[in-house]
A and B are shown apart, each in its own frame.
Chain A
């Protein structure tokens, strides 16, 4: 905490301090790792009720085409074509009001960041995109995207307000009571809503495996909105510690740990992020590597591990039944929901079958680790029955 004077503060910093949040440095910001209830209680509360997370350190932004053609579909196609060369997802085919999880890639097919890109539902906003990137990478991401847009479109950062996530089985009822209509959103869709005098950008998405919302709130309304959510007995504030244990249980990779510039989407087990149209056109960065990996020519894959005994943390070596090192843990810890140690790591595809017994090195010992399907705890997303 020696550099705490150099840390940036989120809009709701004072609220976190008032609530007894333990502020720690994270991606250049002072953020609450936990509140007095503690990580386990906050984690379980989110799984059972609704947890409120301040993720204002992340990078929300808006891209807008400078010149509208007057045709919504044409404008969308135009803005999509500016961004698509950077990512492996199909933006052209994104329907109005939908979010897409995608990845920024380098020329080697490594992941520069994972991000959400959304197309506005409102026809008058055609030619715009809502983009949310990770905190640690946001400056580089925004610069790269802005360069790709050139003079045809602008990128406007929106990380001066509050980005809040409400997650858990009670999230929809809580949010609907405050913002009527919001429960009509399907998983991975978003829209603008009015709340008091503010315009909120609300998506049905999150990073816990639970149903829930992520809400971009203007700075001026942030305190009021935060307080109104916490006023509901079903809502408790949840810090970054439980955010990490929740996403780990949900098997969701964390950039800078389970994803980085050397790991490809296929190695990461995120092949779904490489859209069919882009695959067929092979028109994205690192296409050669990624397409050959997709055919099975890959050296490592991401797996889930049930670890016996002490948690295996990031960096722990994974060994085969002969004790040979074959991989490494990239995220690991204790699962509050399961009451046991779980981990995410990378191993050769020869060792990725669920049920395969491996070992992880923890301190002086090798502990049993069994490859398992992820998520470790089933997802509970809100999907309409079609």
Chain B
């Protein structure tokens, strides 16, 4: 399993052609208290950069973009009742969607942990 990041602070945790998408710990900290999440329908397909979800803090709505071309296989329904999970455990329980990745080689274009850490430094 590898975790890759976008410049917009989404992460995708890859396991073969399966991916789990969420926002980075840095992103949740920047957004502050998450109070509402809008998740896509299972089965929807997205191109890299498409709006796949919306995360709302007290202050503002933030679009979450598909990190790679993918199809949604599962959404984190728990977030509808407890959106604050994104703040408390963004890389774990606070995941947004599970997807099937169209082309695994596309992940090479994303940042690894070290590159992402220097991106936000």
Contact = CB atoms under 8 A, between A and B. Distances in A.
Interface stretch (A32-40, A119-127, A290-298): A32-40
A313 interface: yes
B54 A38 contact: no
B58 A245 contact: yes
Nearest to A39: B58
A334 B38 CA distance: 14
B32 A241 contact: yes
B36 interface: yes
B36 A39 contact: no
Contacts of A333: 58-59
Interface string B31-70: 0110110100000000000000010111111000000000
Most chain A beta carbons < 10 A, residue from B57, B59, B61, B87: B59
A342 to B, nearest CB: 12
Contacts of A28: none
Given A310-B54, A333-B59, A38 B35 contact: no
A113 to B, nearest CB: 24
Contacts, number: 45
B38 A39 contact: no
B60 A38 contact: no
B58 A336 contact: yes
Interface in A232-248: 241-242, 244-245
Contacts of B54: 310, 363
A172 B112 CA distance: 53
A310 B61 contact: yes
A343 interface: no
B36 A311 contact: yes
Interface in A210-263: 241-242, 244-245
B35 A40 contact: yes
A109 to B, nearest CB: 32
Contacts of B60: 313
Contacts of A241: 32, 58-59
B35 A334 contact: yes
Nearest to A334: B35
A341 interface: yes
A41 B84 CA distance: 12
Given A34-B32, A310-B54, A334-B35, A39 B59 contact: yes
B36 A310 contact: yes
Given A310-B38, A311-B36, A334 B58 contact: yes
A370 B36 CA distance: 19
10 contacts: A38-B87, A40-B33, A40-B58, A310-B56, A311-B35, A311-B61, A333-B59, A334-B35, A334-B36, A363-B54
Interface of A: 33-34, 38-41, 43, 241-242, 244-245, 309-311, 313, 333-334, 336, 341, 363
